[in-house]
Chain A
């Protein structure tokens, strides 16, 4: 029990990061690399924080619901023009969106600009957090093998062919984009009610890169991959922190360095991520 208390914060961050990695996975599952999720996370975090601060009577479940709904709704009109773009162009457009959201909050006096909101009550309990993770995993798990799941897979493999077969590619892509936005929004609100603060600097381009790294390292071929990646990349730097500081590496750069090297290694040698390791090993043993 003492061990759990000591690592409570860390375990919560694994959950939050898992949600964020899953939010990136949602669009990746139909082959779209969207980097808008730091922006959606910010919208969710500010929505939740403002509700809690200005209307303390609202139950936390309703706050979370609002933090998921608002980004999901914003994603619809945004996604309609943006999802017509493919590959790198979609990535660039969504980077632009994320930065506009961040700059919007920096310049918004009502939310204290660059300083952000502080003294948000801590309402995120571990069970709420992990229940959310399980709920998202449940939805993604149900998709596998379903009609929708096959449609998403078809779009990921070859969008043109999928459309020729009569799959409504735009509708599916838009749905996953919006679903990803909702997950990112909830994660933002959960984080805000855990760390007491929201500020625009927490939702920079670097944040969405973190999400992407965790999703890719865990593996995007299978929906538990992002959770594995988030756990691995959140816990590993902590586990190695002491060894790093003993050889004179400061924790911030050390974490960055590990992230980069692991991501590179995975992209080059293990394109399906850590989640694909067991299958690979089994295949190798069988010869």
Chain B
């Protein structure tokens, strides 16, 4: 039981980290960025290449995070900014993000091939830690710790800093924010940087945790991420954090008590039920315009 809870928290922390960035961009732009998973995947590959060239993982991880953030800025420049202000731009934004995801996946498949790549052995010290009756590897503990730390930093950033206030202002009403002297384009670019940096972090940690990276590794996480942000309420960061852990736990318990065949089906069932019964999720605002 304790072991299951531990495993659930571990899986959930990666889902939450992935979904927080997802929901941040949705909150600001009302656009579902389906290239989020491709940033996740490319950052994992980037860190892998660095490690293969002899860099320590403690350097490769932050570099992977920055790489993800830069990809996000590029993504916004190429696929989202030109569409801004057009009628129906949130659906065309969704489609252009699919286009970028396809391009990113093609690049990864060309460079790394379709097979699974792995971090070299000994990338991370292999040690077990026992917590009461349950046990976890040092890697798992670090992943949970890092995810929680990064999400705490993001929450602090959004709540207390000038940048966070500008981001919330743009999310609330871009036109009013511009009138108040906020550089809306810059704030959106920075939101993309933050969001994609978190995707990068999730990607590197996921790659380390499951030690398998392939060009389509982001696909399954993307669909889990959708379930997480719907359950948490689109655009709500605390919602995504809680829902991430919730989905992780539900998944682990499903595997334990109903068999692994139902693992993926459960998150979609959650997604479906929430959308039909309570589209604003746990923490979404009451007046979600699209639902």
Interface, chain A (partner B; CB < 8 A): 33, 81-82, 85-89, 91-93, 95-97, 99-100, 103-104, 106-107, 204-206, 209, 212-213, 216, 249-250, 252-254, 256-257, 259-261, 263-264, 267-268, 271
Q: Name A256's closest neighbour in chain B (CB-CB).
A: B106
Q: Name A250's closest neighbour in chain B (CB-CB).
A: B110
The reply to whether B96 and A91 contact each other, CB–CB distance below 8 Å, is no
Q: List 10 A-B contacts (CB under 8 A).
A: A85-B290, A88-B290, A92-B32, A93-B275, A93-B276, A103-B268, A253-B109, A257-B102, A257-B110, A268-B83
Q: Which of A99, A257, A261, A264 contacts B268 (CB 8 A)?
A: A99
Q: Which of A99, A100, A257, A264 contacts B107 (CB 8 A)?
A: A257
Contacts of B279 in A (CB 8 A): 85, 89
B76 at the interface (CB under 8 A from A): no
Interface, chain B (partner A; CB < 8 A): 26, 30-32, 78-79, 82-83, 86, 90-92, 94-96, 98-103, 105-107, 109-110, 114, 216, 219, 223, 226-227, 230, 234, 261-262, 264-265, 268-269, 271-272, 275-276, 279, 290-291
In the bound complex, how far is the Cα of B265 from the Cα of A209, in angstroms?
20
Q: Which of B32, B105, B230, B276 contacts A82 (CB 8 A)?
A: B276
In the bound complex, how far is the Cα of B101 from the Cα of A117, in angstroms?
31
Separation in Å of the B144 CB from the closest CB of chain A?
27
In the bound complex, how far is the Cα of B262 from the Cα of A100, in angstroms?
10
Contacts of B86 in A (CB 8 A): 271
The reply to whether A107 and B94 contact each other, CB–CB distance below 8 Å, is no
Separation in Å of the B28 CB from the closest CB of chain A?
14
The reply to whether A97 and B272 contact each other, CB–CB distance below 8 Å, is yes
Q: Which of B79, B216, B272 contacts A264 (CB 8 A)?
A: B79
Asked whether A252 and B82 contact (CB < 8 A) given A88-B91, A103-B268, A267-B99, the answer is no
The reply to whether A257 and B106 contact each other, CB–CB distance below 8 Å, is yes
Contacts of A257 in B (CB 8 A): 102-103, 106-107, 110
Separation in Å of the A247 CB from the closest CB of chain B?
11
Contacts of A206 in B (CB 8 A): 216, 219
- Give the A-B contact count at a CB cut-off of 8 A: 134
Contacts of B114 in A (CB 8 A): 252
The reply to whether A100 and B269 contact each other, CB–CB distance below 8 Å, is yes
Asked whether A253 and B110 contact (CB < 8 A) given A91-B94, A260-B103, the answer is yes
The reply to whether B272 and A96 contact each other, CB–CB distance below 8 Å, is yes
In the bound complex, how far is the Cα of B219 from the Cα of A95, in angstroms?
12
In the bound complex, how far is the Cα of B99 from the Cα of A259, in angstroms?
7
The reply to whether A260 and B100 contact each other, CB–CB distance below 8 Å, is yes
Separation in Å of the A99 CB from the closest CB of chain B?
5
Q: Name A268's closest neighbour in chain B (CB-CB).
A: B82
The reply to whether B102 and A260 contact each other, CB–CB distance below 8 Å, is yes
The reply to whether B269 and A256 contact each other, CB–CB distance below 8 Å, is no
Separation in Å of the A249 CB from the closest CB of chain B?
6
Contacts of A254 in B (CB 8 A): 106, 110
Separation in Å of the B282 CB from the closest CB of chain A?
15
Contacts of A260 in B (CB 8 A): 99-103, 105-106
Separation in Å of the A157 CB from the closest CB of chain B?
10
User: Interface centre among B261, B275, B290, by most A CB within 10 Å?
Assistant: B275
In the bound complex, how far is the Cα of B275 from the Cα of A249, in angstroms?
42
Contacts of A205 in B (CB 8 A): 219, 223
Contacts of B234 in A (CB 8 A): 88-89
In the bound complex, how far is the Cα of B259 from the Cα of A284, in angstroms?
62
Contacts of A204 in B (CB 8 A): 219
